[in-house]
Structure 1
Amino acid sequence: MGKKNHGSSSNSSSSGNGDPSIPEGDGANGNSSSEKSNDASQHSLHVNFDWRTVRANLFSREQAETEAQAKGTSFESKPLGMKWAHPISVPETGCVLVATEKLDGVRTFERTVVLLLRSGTRHPQEGPFGIVINRPLHKKIKHMKPTNLDLATTFSDCPLHFGGPLEASMFLLKTGGRSKLPGFEEVIPGLCFGARNSLDEAAELVKKGVLKSQDFRFFVGYAGWQQDQLKEEIDSDYWYVAACSLNLIYGGFPDSSSENLWEEILQLMGGQYSELSRKPKQDM
């Protein structure tokens, strides 16, 4: 069966004159000081709230009830745990795309997990894009002899990861219990992303002690799709779509390896997905 052209830059998403990989910042101008104060108080009240966890709890409960009915046993509720993953029907910002066996043999994407940074619904001309999060390059930034001063100093010991076949460098930053950070775009609660145009702000946060360099993960390249292309690939069974916990996406970074993330997510998704995680690669 023929594969789609996943590696061509002509398939990248676009958003008018700007590179879609560059976040445009948080701020809408014109808010009054009282509105900003109200927003800040709301952020502080909900800083640790993640509606995705509520949905995951509901999904886990429904699955447990279904299994109990099938076995004829009584239902027992179990805690969700720090690491969870479950399938969802449509892609959303912050979800992951898990490569199916149809991508075995497609070197760029086989057995990859792509974190979707934007789902492509924010702007009518913008396609979805994200980064591969389970392909460490086993190199640090300093090994690439960067010319950018912040990369050569503040972030020199940060590890590099392959993010995708399209040209643009990005980084993820773990914000912990903080609310949204100005200049960075939130992917899911506790996790933001930035690009080269926000590197100065990132370095400043480290210098001020707000964040540590270990809170950052840098990616070379990204993956992008045209408006309807990703939907077509999902409908053609090239990708499974899943929601998963921040602890699963970021793990015990920087010490833990992300290379087994594909298997781990599929196993947590259970059922047919768990079976796929144990299958050997298919040479196409």
Structure 2
Amino acid sequence: CSFFFCLGHALVPPSARSLRARLVKPRPASGGSGGGGLDGEPDDEITLPDEDWRAFRARLIAMEKAAGASSGGAPATDSGAAVDQETSSSWAYESPLIEQGSVLLGGSQHAVGFGLNQQYFHKCVILVLQHDKSFTKGIILNRPTPKRTPDGFRLWYGGDVCGLNLSPMGQEFVCLHSLDQAQAREFSEEVVQGIYSTSLDDARTMVQQGIASKEDFWLFVGYAGWGPEQLQGELDRGSWHLAAADSTIVLQQLLEESSRDPNDHSDVGMHTWTELMRAIGRDDDARPRIFPDQMLREWYREHLAGEEVLSEDLDGSLASNVQEGVSSTSTGTSKRPTSTQTLDLKGRILRSTIPSAFLLSQQYLHKSLVLVIADTEDMSIGVVLNRPSASEVQFQSTGLRRRLNLGGEQAIGSIQMLLFHRLSGLADTSQPVGDSGLWQISVAQADVAMRSGRAEVEDFLCMTGVCAWPRRSLHDDIAAGKFSIVDSPSTALAWDEIFRISVCGDERDNGVEIWRMAETLGCQDTSSLDAAGQQREALADDALLEFARYFLHFTGEEEG
């Protein structure tokens, strides 16, 4: 057992922040009349002054590392790296303890990361404000925005819970500061030694009373939250690195973030993450990761960029048009053309359009062909036609195999698979899907048709999952330009190729080429996009391939 862990678990109370402690030297093993020992008064006492116990732990780590180096042994690495306390008053080290004041660093060891979803967590730095058995709450420290309140407080993105994406009544604000005078403490709670939190209203009061200025505060909107044991599970999976850091380091990073140009999207807080990763000895992990880094920049550009003075309601809450992500299941606000308000989309085939609306989420809909199989006032349901996976299905009675396609991310009750075909000869056992030229058939009837010789396994598309849009919002997505309706799909689409990508054994085709075969149907060509648009479209292609690799188990490269 290392020196740190022997003392750490014995001496550090889980809820203590600052207290006075005594270390007792053990009695010599040879006995004698030393006049003290563990069963009597101590021979010597080492009295620790009131201080942050995390700083005491940091010194223990530094002592252990120094002892290991002087003895020629390898220094312990379980707890990361601590700054030498004899040469600096600042410190940071990796810690196994989740507690108020802990720092979470977006992990670098998990395969998927936050590139495909919740990009704001990629290379983020989170300060834990609250931690108990039932709930953990933290705020992201390295996502400043150029937005301000009407009275001039600069806004920082604190997280996706009660954040800028919600209506004003659902937002939550917290201000951090380092004001140590008694008047400021009356309005504040100590998060960790040297860092305090207060409400926006109390921050305004302190400014009005001359106790502070607006520049003394960092105003965060929203937070990140975890239920019981949830954060520990994510730590165990490598989603985060957990650290303790001196408040001087945290405040210095906040000051540096404040000084950066908010309209420069090249960094978006990643420098702060890199510096703290290096401070805890994670130099090898603190490296650029091209795809998720680009996705974080795109998320920032989409949701936080652009100077804006937020409107303020009568209750003091702030309103913004920030959305967490582009989603085909959003209700939408675009006015639908009259022709789509009453149009029954069942049997229609939709093509996602360029530039992509599915870069930051639902990447499987990028360059997709979607067959609408139901369209009511309450719900629209569709299946993606060109998303083959590496999984296969085998029909029980024939033993024949067919590739399984991802139809969408929603399940339909207990139905595990949907089958479609183009054979009019099976009309007596199938249901037509509108005027698409496709028929839906049950697994049992398809098996019977193959055993009787009326069909081959290559005649069927096998789908798992569906896409679902509530309250006719699919019509809004069409009006907003996320999808266009394919005219005369029975003759216009390359159906032979769509069915071909479901042949077992061909893992190189991820469905992109099938979409390209349909791009002559009025789709906007990428050559008409400006340079930034073409870059985003190329990034959306990369995101689709990442999705295919991790969720469809596709391992090939896109041709060309």
Tell me the TM-score normalised to structure 1 length. Answer: 0.66
* CA 1:281–1:90: 2 relative to 1, 3 Å: farther
- RMSD (CA atoms): 2.8
Mapped contact 2:184–2:211 kept (Cα < 8 A):
no
* CA 1:104–1:192: 2 relative to 1, 3 Å: same
Mapped contact 1:187–1:193 kept (Cα < 8 A):
yes
Determine the structure 2 residue equivalent to 1:99.
Answer: 106
* CA 1:282–1:65: 2 relative to 1, 3 Å: farther
Structure 1 stretches lacking a partner, 5+ long: 1-44, 143-151
Match among 129, 153, 165 for residue 160 of structure 2:
165
Mapped contact 2:135–2:225 kept (Cα < 8 A):
yes
Q: CA deviation at 1:249?
A: 1.2
Regions of 4+ moved over 6 Å: none
Residue type of the alignment partner of 1:53:
A
Determine the structure 2 residue equivalent to 1:110.
Answer: 122
Mapped contact 1:104–1:282 kept (Cα < 8 A):
no
Q: CA deviation at 1:84?
A: 2.3
Q: CA deviation at 1:206?
A: 2.3
Q: Which has the larger radius of gyration?
A: 2
* CA 1:104–1:117: 2 relative to 1, 3 Å: same
For 1:282 and 1:64, locate their aligned partners in 2 and report how far apart those are by CA, in whole Å.
39
For 1:128 and 1:78, locate their aligned partners in 2 and report how far apart those are by CA, in whole Å.
30
Whether 1:134 aligns to 2:145 is no
Residue type of the alignment partner of 2:62:
S
Tell me the TM-score normalised to structure 2 length. Answer: 0.35
* CA 1:78–1:201: 2 relative to 1, 3 Å: closer
For 1:245 and 1:140, locate their aligned partners in 2 and report how far apart those are by CA, in whole Å.
29
Whether 1:266 aligns to 2:261 is no
Determine the structure 2 residue equivalent to 1:216.
Answer: 217
Identical columns (%): 28
Residue type of the alignment partner of 1:173:
H
* CA 1:244–1:281: 2 relative to 1, 3 Å: farther
Mapped contact 1:95–1:243 kept (Cα < 8 A):
yes
Mapped contact 1:57–1:80 kept (Cα < 8 A):
no
For 1:190 and 1:78, locate their aligned partners in 2 and report how far apart those are by CA, in whole Å.
18
Mapped contact 1:132–1:164 kept (Cα < 8 A):
yes
Determine the structure 2 residue equivalent to 1:276.
Answer: 285
For 1:184 and 1:265, locate their aligned partners in 2 and report how far apart those are by CA, in whole Å.
26
Residue type of the alignment partner of 2:148:
K
Q: CA deviation at 1:161?
A: 1.1
Mapped contact 1:178–1:190 kept (Cα < 8 A):
no
**Residues 215-224 or 255-264, more deviating:** 255-264
* CA 1:233–1:56: 2 relative to 1, 3 Å: same
* CA 1:248–1:78: 2 relative to 1, 3 Å: closer
Residue type of the alignment partner of 1:115:
L
For residues 149-228 of structure 1, the aligned pairs below 5 Å read: 152=151, 156=152, 158-167=153-162, 168-176=172-180, 181-195=185-199, 199-228=200-229
Structure 2 stretches lacking a partner, 5+ long: 1-48, 75-83, 163-171, 261-268, 293-545, 547-560
* CA 1:67–1:279: 2 relative to 1, 3 Å: farther
Residue type of the alignment partner of 2:236:
D
**Number of paired residues?**
213
Secondary structure, aligned partner of 2:120: coil
Residue type of the alignment partner of 2:56:
V
Residue type of the alignment partner of 1:216:
F
* CA 1:260–1:116: 2 relative to 1, 3 Å: same
Residue type of the alignment partner of 2:284:
E
Compare relative contact order (CA 8 Å, sep 6+) and give the higher one, 1 or 2.
Answer: 1
